[in-house]
Amino acid sequence: MATIREESDYDSSRSSLTAPGSRRSWISDIGSSSSVSVRSFGGGGGWDTPVASCRHHKPHKANQAEWEAIRRVRAASGGIGLEHFRLLRRLGSGDLGNVYLCQLREPWSTGCLYAMKVVDKDALAFRKKLRRAEVEREILRTLDHPFLPTLYADFEASHYACLVMEFCPGGDLHVARQRQPGRRFSISSVRFYVAETVLALEYLHMMGVVYRDLKPENVLVRSDGHIMLSDFDLSLKCDVVPRLLRHNSLPHAVNGAGRADSDKPPSCVPPIQPVLSCLFHGVHKCHAKAEGGADDGDGEAAASASEPAAETTNPEVVVEPVSARSKSFVGTHEYLAPEVISGQGHGSAVDWWTLGVFMYEMVYGRTPFKGESNEKTLANIIKQPLAFPRVAAAGGKERDEHLRAQDLMAQLLAKNPRKRLGGCTGSAEVKRHEFFKGVNWALVRSVRPPEVPRPPAALVPPPPAAQKKVLMMSRKERQEPFKPRSDERFECF
């Protein structure tokens, strides 16, 4: 899939030039450099942020062997740098840099594997993309979630910046889909992966991050089979203002699609602080109702005041950047939301659109608006209505599952972001959809994944020599009694 970027958020251009000499071997450059500056998990800022002590704690990783190994290196050496790692092989490359598989050198080595992303700061500065790398690092520093990457360390070596992150041996969901029958996932598998992705997006939005690059290639599979989002170089950082909404309909009064009745829009609870305002269905009307204001001419205020209290006591906190606005033209052609293409400004609703495209590809093996060319694809996203291919269902239950999945995708792929599921109140209404019926959101992390990857053969340590000898014995040799050699000694205790 072609990826397009016009990073006005980061004062960047669309140039794809590389700095002169940037193709030189970075390993040899670093090896010959005598100065390696160390960075810790300090606050925001550029790559030249002064060295600070590690103040950020990662409760979800507190008992992880990889995290403990890094902590011991910091305690023993007073910091961490490239000299503490041994590079094993390259895992891949992206627009900003290369990713390498690595592990700690002796005597710190514990067998733990890491993924190290290395970017050439000089090359990125020449291409006006250095700010993108800085934003990615700032975002990674703040994350602590089961379905998002862990940044173990970040440091500089010469003109290179290094990010040491989690290694996922299961590859990505794009490759995993190719292995499935018909190159598509079952509905139960799609529910599992989409549910974990929803939780990851929910956390990012609460942290003020709009992801903007969701696709199967960026969803990695950990060793335990659970997912991890990756690649935050297109993400947008913004402010989040918490809002308290009160729905006129109770949780059980939702339609079959999992959404509240559209004839009963949510009303505002008076904000605790003046800065908190209701941005849903008009600011002024909501404030007028919340303050017990006068009738606006059509009797809406009076009707709101006369409603039974039982129907207006369902408050909901919304902590998502639904009002954020960016006009950057970034993303992958087949996943771009209509508001991104039109340039009218976009916020967190683009992530719910990409979730719909992501889910569509998982279910049907292709994206919904792909055309013969990139230009045709963009035109289809704007004008072409959503259509679903015919899929043979084995029984009534499977058919119902497909119908619920299609209903969810149709609501996520609403071209108007204000009518899109999740576009106004975020992840809460997405999680209430009937497709996720039976999902225990608090215990998704404990659910058995559809597939647990096996470590690649190249990463599995070879068996001991003694074990090899036993495996090569003949049947006759294995049945003979053991006869120790004369030079062998045994100690009894």
Asked if residue 19 lies in contact with residue 120, where contact means CB atoms within 8 angstroms, the answer is: yes
Strand order in the sheet with 97-104: 38-39, 151-157, 160-166, 114-120, 97-104, 85-93
Burial class (CB in 10 A: 0-12, 13-18, 19+), 230: buried
Q: Give residues with Cβ within 8 angstroms of 31, minimum separation 6.
A: none
Which residues are part of the catalytic machinery? 213
Tokens 């170089």 -> residue? 233
Alpha carbon of 100 to those of 24, 94, 146: distances in Å?
Answer: 16, 12, 22
Is the C-alpha dihedral spanning 117, 120, 124, 127 positive or negative? Answer: negative
Q: How far apart are CA 36 and CA 82, in angstroms?
A: 7
Is the C-alpha dihedral spanning 430, 432, 433, 436 positive or negative? Answer: positive
- DSSP string of 178-208, one letter each residue: HTSGGG---HHHHHHHHHHHHHHHHHHHHTT
- In 10 A of CB 189, how many CB atoms? 19
Q: Collapsing DSSP states into helix, strand and coil, what is residue 245?
A: strand
Burial class (CB in 10 A: 0-12, 13-18, 19+), 461: exposed
Asked if residue 235 lies in contact with residue 228, where contact means CB atoms within 8 angstroms, the answer is: no
Extract the tokens encoding 323: 């009002």
